[in-house]
Amino acid sequence: MLDPRLDKLAKVLVHHSARVQPGELVAIQADCTAQPLIEAVFEETVRAGGHPHLLQDIPALEEIFMSNANEEQLAFSPLFHKLVAERFDARIVFRGTTNTRALSAIDPTRQAARGKALQPIMQTIMQRGGEGSLKWIGTLYPTEAYAQDAEMSLRDYENFYFRACHVDADTLNPIAYWQGVQKEQQQYVDRIEGRDRVQVRGPNCELNLSIEGRKFRNASGQHNMPDGEIYTAPVEDSVNGWVRFTYPAITNGRSVEGIELKFEAGRVVQATAKKNEDYLIKMLDTDDGARTLGEFAIGTNYGVDRFTGTILFDEKIGGTIHMAVGAGYPETGSRNLSAVHWDMICDMRDGSEILVDGEVVYRNGRFQI
C-alpha cells in the first residue's frame, strides 16, 4: 500500500515544483531504490497530461564507472542527460542512495575530471532554469543510508523528512503551505534586494561582499523539496574576509570538517580544514571558477532543526547561512562558471548578524522584520 505521504509529495513535485502542463516532456531521474516515489510521480505526471520519461540510476554503477573508466570515458558527457538538459520541459530528480560513502575512495582528480565533463549539462540546466524554459526540482527518497547519516532510525527519518516537506498528516494542503512560505520569504527579499554592501559578522564569520545589481531568489519548493531559503550571487570580485564553516561539508562521499576560508578580492586565497584538507584544496583547484563564491544564501526552514549530513536538508536549517564555491545561478546575475558547486554551512544563531548598507537586517538566526 502506498504511503499517503508519498502521494501528497508527488502532487507537490508535479503541480507546485515542476508545474507540469499537458504535452510537456518530463524527465524523472531517480535511483532504483525509490520505486514507490517513482510510481507516484510517474502517475501524477500522466494525470497532469505530461509525457514522463524515466532515467533510472543504479547506485552501484556509478562506483563501477568511477573506479574503472579511462580518461576518455570520464570526459564523455552522457547523451540522455544532455538531451534532457537541452530539450525537456521539466526535470524531477530524487536520490535514494543505499551508501552515501560509496565514492569516498575514488581519486579526487578522477572526480574532478568527471565534474568537468558534466559541467556543460549543469550549466545548461542552470541557464534554462533561469530563463524559465526548464523547470527542475530535486529531492530524495528516505533510505537506511540517509537515516544512518542523520543518526536516526529509518522510521524517525521518514517522519522527519515528510514533516520537513510538509506533506505529513499535520499539513492538510501542502501546496498552499509552500505558497505561504513564498509570500513570507518575499518580505525578506524585498528588504535586501536592490542594495549594495553586505557585512556578515559573528564568532565564525567576518565577511564583506557586494550584491549590487544581483537578484535574490525566493526558494519555496520550486527547485528543492524540502525548501526554505533565499539566495543570490555576490559580485564576483567583492568578497573579502574569512569564514569558519560550523558543519561538515559533504560531497562525493567525503566529509570535509572544520573548513576555514579567507577571501581577497573575491578569491579564496587561503583554505584549511581539520579533516580531508587535501581534498578541499583539490576541489578548489578544479578550475578557475572554483575559488570564487557562486552563491550566498540564508536558510529559513526552522522545521529542519538538526544536522543530517545531507545538504538538501542542512542548507535549509533556520538560523544558518551557506555559501557555495564554484558555479552560480545565472538568474541571480552570477557570471561565475565552474564544474564545482559546493555548499558550506555556517551557524548564525549565537552572537551573529547581517548588515545591509549599514542596517542590521538579521540577528542571531532571525530576520529583523
* Residues 135-178: tens digit of each pLDDT: 999 999 999 999 999 999 999 999 999 999 999 999 999 999 99
Question: φ, ψ for residue 34 (rounded to 5)?
Answer: -95, 30
Segments of the chain assigned to CATH 3.40.1830.10:
4-165
Question: How much is the pLDDT for 108?
Answer: 85
Whether the per-residue pLDDT at 1 is higher than 70: the answer is: no
Q: How far apart are CA 43 and CA 197, in angstroms?
A: 48
Whether the per-residue pLDDT at 102 is higher than 90: the answer is: no
Mean model confidence pLDDT for the chain: 94
Question: φ, ψ for residue 176 (rounded to 5)?
Answer: -65, -35
Share of the chain above pLDDT 90, in %: 85
Share of the chain above pLDDT 70, in %: 100
**Cell 532504483, residue located:** 32
Cell triple for 259: 573548513
**82 Cβ neighbours under 8 A, 6+ residues apart:** 120, 121, 124
- Mean pLDDT, range 178-189, rounded to an integer: 96
Q: Are strands 353-356 and 359-363 parallel, antiparallel or unpaired?
A: antiparallel
Question: How much is the pLDDT for 96?
Answer: 87
DSSP state of 275: B
Q: What does the pLDDT look like over 197-244, one tens digit per residue?
A: 999 999 999 999 999 999 999 999 999 999 999 999 999 999 999 999
**What is the CATH T-level fold of the domain 4-165, as seen in this structure?**
Thermophilic metalloprotease-like (3.40.1830)
Question: How much is the pLDDT for 210?
Answer: 98
